[in-house]
Amino acid sequence: MNRADFSDIQILLVEMQPPIVASSATQSAAAIGDAASALMRIANALAIPVTASVVPLGEEAPTLIEELGSISLLVRRTISVLKDQACCNCLANNRRSVIALAGVSSEIAILHTALDARRAGYEVSVLVDCCGGLSSRTETTALEQMRAAGVVVTNLSSFFTGVVGDMGSREGGLVMGALTELWSWNVARGDEVAGP
């Protein structure tokens, strides 16, 4: 992928529903929400397509965490997003070969979606600061399994600064603005900061 070319990236958000995000044991819902907010800010600024896929939870219509705004979502009944034909069609119609993947839980939907996306020929990067797991032990195992399959396990800061390259460019300024805001939220909360 060309460093300054965002035209090959698409973002896939999985199970970013309030009760599921709140169930994360490896990262707080607030931290996931802040990272998702920065991710959306970057996506909107750089015209990167975002697909959100969720599973139904009971009888109520699924909703996304408020940090994602009013993006449309695709409801599926499969564990992996790539096992749902409507979701596959949406990703294929974006005509972008790199998937930046985020969501909950790392051990279930993220793992199986990442593995299936690799099998389908996509380059996949899992943005761990936008993910949450059931426990640190099980999340670590899932991330190791993804790495072994050729998935890049990274974070929002490293992924987008690596793609933009030139922080003095328009794109670099937009990325750094969103990341600086994310880092300030993390510092205020006492979280670790994953900078470049």
Per-residue pLDDT tens digits for 40-92: 999 998 999 999 999 999 998 899 999 998 898 999 999 999 999 999 999 99
pLDDT of residue 164: 86
pLDDT mean across residues, the chain: 91
Q: What is the pLDDT of residue 190?
A: 58
Separation between Cα atoms, residue 50 and residue 195, nearest integer Å: 23
State residue 77's pLDDT score: 96
pLDDT digits (tens, 9 = 90+) for 82-129: 999 999 999 999 999 999 999 999 999 999 999 999 999 999 999 999
- Note the pTM of the prediction, 2 decimals: 0.91
DSSP state of 62: P
3-state DSSP of 128-148: EEEEECCCHHHHHHHHHHHHH
- CB atoms near residue 57 (< 10 Å): 14
Confidence of residue 185 (pLDDT cuts 50, 70, 90): low
Q: Does residue 169 have a pLDDT over 90? A: no
Element housing 102 (H / E) = strand 98-104
